[in-house]
Structure 1
Amino acid sequence: MFRILFVLFIVVPIIEIALLIQVSDVIGGVATIALVVLTAVLGAKLVKQQGLSAFSNVQGQMAQGQMPASELFSGLCVIIAGVLLMTPGIMTDVIGFMLLTPPIRVHLANALVKQIGAQMHAKMSAQQGGFSHHAQQSPFEQPQSSFDKTEGVQEQSSTIEGEYQRKD
């Protein structure tokens, strides 16, 4: 967590200041300030448009009884893009405009799903490593019957069957 905060509050502003100085050397100070203001205004307009579109898509999917996972991720990307575009700087503007591009959002969503799937698989494999063979079944598989159908012999199970009678 410390590394992330360090990058956000120390490294990113240093990079932004260096880029603004280099751009102002090439196009001038007034033009650089105008560029930063223009990207903020254009970014705000695009964020509003795409944010409302994402919101209506989420509502439509929920009305149909579907989980709007991709629309929620798209909305999150639009929010992050809005924050980045409102932050003065060249690098944050580039990243913000990239997040407003639908193909890049789709690519990010696919990469995130792949990463989460790999982490879940690794955790499930680690959890099942120390258990017996019976516990190594996937949680998505159907449980096996406690009786062997060919011989009628009961396998070892954690369920204790029996009858009881209450005597008062």
Structure 2
Amino acid sequence: MTTGAPPPIARKRSRARTFLPLGIAAWLILEIWLLTVVASEAGGLAVLGLLVGAGVLGAVVIKRAGRRAFTNLRETLQQQQTGQGAAPAASPARGEGNGLLMLGGLLLMLPGLISDVAGLLLLLPPVRTRIGRFAERSLERQMNAAMAGGLGDAFQQARMRHPDGKVVQGEVVHEGGAQRRDDNRDDRPRPPLTP
């Protein structure tokens, strides 16, 4: 016996959700394989020394970057309390890259040689600068693309969906024939979308 409701539409998985677990598994297998190759050539004690040394270096890097970030935060708060709000923007170079430094330290602390190389690369200022600029540009592009679609459209689309999964397409038309838009809304209560 059917209830008359259409079956729920399965959402398509994004590429990131599909390939991220595969990428992590491949990275782990590669790390283990590389550790065994290096251990067979240099010895297990040398590999242990490399991993412990990288872990200690990563902890030191994270501690220093965390202290620097906390100091910058404290100075910024003190300047805002005294009314010098424009001073933090004048010296961005001092606090630049703390997040990437912490990421580099975390990669150093992870057991594995590939993550250690990536962490060491993030400790180099030119690499941090380029990655920071790339991340900033890609974030700006994504924000601009999200704003081009319009947030009002997303809210209007969300309002047209019923709880049972049915989508009602259409527009609200007043008796005078003019279309009603969200930016010209009045404060009258609306009836619920549930049947």
TM-score (ref. length: structure 2): 0.54
Distance in 2 between residues matched to 1:82 and 1:38, nearest whole Å: 12
Equivalent residue number for residue 106 of structure 2: 83
TM-score (ref. length: structure 1): 0.61
Compare 63-72 and 88-97 and name the one that shifted more: 63-72
Aligned residue type for 2:109: M
How big is the shift at 1:2? 4.2
The structure-2 alpha-carbon separation of the partners of 1:69 and 1:13, relative to structure 1 and needing over 3 Å to count, comes to farther
Q: 1:17 aligns with which of 32, 35, 43?
A: 32
How big is the shift at 1:69? 8.4
Distance in 2 between residues matched to 1:63 and 1:102, nearest whole Å: 28
Instruction: Tell me, yes or no, if structure 1 residue 5 matches structure 2 residue 28.
Output: no
Distance in 1 between residues matched to 2:148 and 2:64, nearest whole Å: 44
Contact 1:54 1:71 in 2 (8 A): no
Provide, for residues 16-56 of structure 1, a one-character-per-residue CA deviation record: whole Å limited to 9, x for no partner: 01111221232222111111111111221222123212321
Equivalent residue number for residue 43 of structure 1: 58
**Larger helix percent:** 1
- What secondary structure does 1:82 align onto? helix
Equivalent residue number for residue 30 of structure 1: 45
Distance in 1 between residues matched to 2:124 and 2:71, nearest whole Å: 18
Equivalent residue number for residue 167 of structure 2: none
Aligned residue type for 1:78: L
Equivalent residue number for residue 149 of structure 1: none
Aligned residue type for 2:19: R
Distance in 2 between residues matched to 1:84 and 1:43, nearest whole Å: 7
Contact 2:57 2:105 in 1 (8 A): no
Distance in 1 between residues matched to 2:143 and 2:67, nearest whole Å: 33
Say how many residue pairs are matched.
Answer: 130
Contact 1:39 1:93 in 2 (8 A): yes
Where do residues 1-168 of structure 1 align in structure 2 (5 Å cutoff)? 1-8=17-24, 10-64=25-79, 65=85, 66=88, 74-127=97-150
The structure-2 alpha-carbon separation of the partners of 1:106 and 1:36, relative to structure 1 and needing over 3 Å to count, comes to same
Provide, for residues 108-136 of structure 1, a one-character-per-residue CA deviation record: whole Å limited to 9, x for no partner: 11111111222233344444xxxxxxxxx
Contact 1:84 1:92 in 2 (8 A): yes
Distance in 2 between residues matched to 1:94 and 1:4, nearest whole Å: 21
The structure-2 alpha-carbon separation of the partners of 1:83 and 1:5, relative to structure 1 and needing over 3 Å to count, comes to farther
Structure 2's unaligned 5+ residue stretches are 1-16, 80-84, 151-182, 185-195
- What secondary structure does 2:97 align onto? helix
Contact 1:51 1:78 in 2 (8 A): no
